[in-house]
Amino acid sequence: ASAAPEAALESAPGAVPMAASVAEPAARDMVSASLAQPAQERSLRAVRNRAKEAAAASVSLYDLYAAMFAKPETADAVCRHLLPQFISRDARIHWQDIAHMDPESTLALAVATATSSTCPKIDTLFDGGNGAIALTRWWTDLLVRHGLYGNGDSIGADEFGELIVSAFRMLRDRHASPESLRQMRVVPPQAVRLKDRYCEFRFVSRGASFKAYLCQSRLTGERRVCHKTRKDWLRASADCMRSEVELFREISHPHLTAIVESFEDFNSVYMIAEMAEGVELFSYLDQRHRDASALAEAWVAQVIGQVLDAMSYCHELRPHRAVHG
């Protein structure tokens, strides 16, 4: 009785055997898998090739940007190549002439031309998208740092040279390997160390990006303030940081403590400042508030005037500003 339905099914017109009906989906899956596998392999190969091309492009661009600092005369040659493209009849470089420049390709082509470097298909090394947007924002910020906010702002040839050097540093680091960036932080073994000159360190305060310590000079016995900043807290390369420290050492203003010298090791940079007598302004104001003690308007006006005077001085420093807004 159980065999009758099977016999009827087998004899029915157009009937498919049970074994074939089960095997057919499995066969289709195998065919689909066999077709998908080459497609997946092709996709993986394409990803690997794009990664290799990106790595090769990054190496080529890093070599170009790093060549700017290989010899002192290279920077001069690059600036001489760029200056005629942007300088106006008044011997100034105006914001509107460089604000919309593509810094990555323009500077790469400039250093390649100035150094007679060969970089195949250099125009194809640059990608658009988010990377280009980030570079545009960075370029705008760098122009502001050099006092170029908008129409009517301009800089001289010397400041233009400083601007170009700063741009090359950033672009070099953007394409540098982690090992190259690490190597930039290395301090020569013959460099003078902080503890060779100062002793008796005592923690005083902490800022947004530094710690302050009281210390004493081994040479003169004078009390100083040491500001310690870790290099990995800074969004800048080691040589850019050194350039900024040199700028701070040139600051001379009656309402700013002078930076007398600086040191560094692999992890941190240390700026030694003159000792300022008295208390911090914030602490003084906080104490007056807790004591419910009023402040004279004339005193407040004097303090604010000193602060604004110091900020204005830093804002107008050349070749670039210590602060900008």
Position 321 scores a pLDDT of: 66
Residue 5 has pLDDT above 90, yes or no: no
Three-state secondary structure of 231-261: HHHCCCCHHHHHHHHHHHHCCCCCCCCCEEE
Residue 13 per-residue DSSP state: T
Residue 105's pLDDT band (boundaries 50, 70, 90)? confident
Model confidence pLDDT, tens digit, residues 53-91:
444 444 578 888 888 888 888 888 888 889 999 999 999
d(CA 149, CA 153) in angstroms, rounded, equals: 6
For residues 175 and 62, is the Cβ–Cβ distance under 8 A?
Answer: yes
Mean pLDDT for 192-216 is 92
Q: Looking up tokens 């009937």, which residue turns up?
A: 15
Longest dimension (CA), the chain: 116
Share of the chain above pLDDT 90, in %: 34
Choose the most confident range, by mean pLDDT, from 51-55, 203-207, 275-279: 203-207
For residues 258 and 271, is the Cβ–Cβ distance under 8 A?
Answer: no
Position 250 scores a pLDDT of: 86
Position 38 scores a pLDDT of: 58
Residue 46 has pLDDT above 60, yes or no: no
Share of the chain above pLDDT 70, in %: 74
The architecture CATH gives domain 187-277? 2-Layer Sandwich (3.30)
Phi-psi label, residue 133: left if phi above 0, alpha if psi -120 to 50, beta otherwise: alpha
Position 31 scores a pLDDT of: 46
Position 96 scores a pLDDT of: 95
Choose the most confident range, by mean pLDDT, from 101-105, 180-184, 259-263, 278-282: 259-263
Residue 303's pLDDT band (boundaries 50, 70, 90)? very high
Exposed/middle/buried for residue 184 (C-beta within 10 Å: 0-12, 13-18, 19+): middle
Phi-psi label, residue 152: left if phi above 0, alpha if psi -120 to 50, beta otherwise: left
Position 95 scores a pLDDT of: 96
Residue 4 has pLDDT above 80, yes or no: no
Residue 322's pLDDT band (boundaries 50, 70, 90)? low
Range(s) of the chain covered by CATH 3.30.200.20: 187-277
Sequence-ordered list of residues with C-beta below 8 angstroms from that of 115, at least 6 positions apart, any chain? 67, 74, 77
